[in-house]
Amino acid sequence: MAYECNGATVEADEEGYIIDISAWNPDLALLIAEGENIEMGDDAWEVVNFLRNYYEEYQIAPAVRVLTKAIKKKLGADKGNSKYLYELFPYGPAKQACKIAGLPKPTGCI
């Protein structure tokens, strides 16, 4: 599949993860989020940006339990828990947020 964003075509795999990570931009994130029925408020953006920073630092998209722990470490227990993250991304914080963040599917996601 592919996304049409600001006049550009961005290739994605059959599940909607974009192929070329460098093709990501915030408008594309909003478009992917729309397809996932996710409202991109500040809290959702915070998680998406957290994932992008994590990828930048470690070159992987973390599995959900790893993401939860890492967020807890950085942003506190109020945000580093599954309830909070699943409220923002009901179909899986790692999977949905990674897709919106333009990252590959999480590593260690089984």
C-alpha–C-alpha distance, residues 66 and 55, integer Å: 13
What is the total residue count of the chain?
110
By CB under 8 A, tell whether 40 contacts another protein: no
Q: Which of 1, 13, 65, 81 is in the footprint of another protein by CB under 8 A?
A: 65
30-38, 65-73, 74-82, 86-94 -> range binding another protein (CB under 8 A): 65-73
2-10, 35-43, 57-65, 81-89 -> range binding another protein (CB under 8 A): 57-65
> For residue 37, what are its two tokens?
């029925």
Task: Say which DSSP state 90 is in.
Answer: T
